[in-house]
Amino acid sequence: MMTPVSIIVPTYHESPNIEALARRVFAALDAARMTGEIIFVDDDSRDGTAEIVRRLASEYSVRLLVRTEERGLASAVVCGLERARHDIMVIMDADLQHPPESVPALVEGIVRGAEMAIGSRYVPGAGIDAEWSWFRRLNSFVATVPARMLVGVRDPMSGFCAMSRETFHRAGRLHPIGYKIVLELAVKSRCDRIAEVPITFAGRAAGASKLSLREQWRYARHLARLYWFRFSVPIAVLAATGAVLIAWAGRTFVRGDAP
| Site for ligand GDP, rule CB under 6 A | 10-12, 14, 41-43, 71-73, 76, 93-95, 97, 209-211
18 contact choice in Mg ion, ligand GDP, none (CB below 5 to 8 Å, kind-dependent): none
Burial 39-78 (b: 16+ CB within 10 A, else e): bbbbbeeebebbebbeebeeeebbbbbeeeeeebbbbbbb
Span interacting with Mg ion, options 19-27, 95-103, 134-142, 240-248, rule CB under 5 A = 95-103
41 contact choice in Mg ion, ligand GDP, none (CB below 5 to 8 Å, kind-dependent): ligand GDP
**Per-residue binding letters, 149-168, with Mg ion (x by CB under 5 A):** --------------------
Sheet holding 161-164, edge to edge: 62-66, 36-42, 5-11, 88-91, 161-164, 116-120, 194-198
Closer residue to ligand GDP in complex, CB, 96/153:
96
- Minimum CB–partner distance for residue 203 and Mg ion (Å): 9
Q: How many CB atoms lie within 10 A of CB 36?
A: 23
Closer residue to ligand GDP in complex, CB, 98/188:
98
Task: Please state whether beta strands 127-128 and 62-66 pair in parallel, antiparallel, or not at all (unpaired).
Answer: unpaired
- Minimum CB–partner distance for residue 96 and Mg ion (Å): 9
Q: Residues 209, 212, 217, 220: what is their CA dihedral angle, to the nearest 10 degrees?
A: 20
How many residues contact Mg ion, by CB under 5 A?
Answer: 2
Nearest to 64 by CA among 72, 75, 79, 74: 79
Closer residue to ligand GDP in complex, CB, 115/122:
122
Contact 60, 39 (CB under 8 A): no
Span interacting with Mg ion, options 93-101, 160-168, 186-194, 237-245, rule CB under 5 A = 93-101
Task: Please state whether beta strands 5-11 and 88-91 pair in parallel, antiparallel, or not at all (unpaired).
Answer: parallel
Residue 95 makes contact with Mg ion by CB under 5 A: yes
* Measured distance between the N- and C-terminal CA atoms of the chain, rounded to whole angstroms: 60
User: Cβ-closest residue to ligand GDP?
Assistant: 209
- Minimum CB–partner distance for residue 11 and ligand GDP (Å): 5
**Per-residue binding letters, 38-57, with Mg ion (x by CB under 5 A):** --------------------
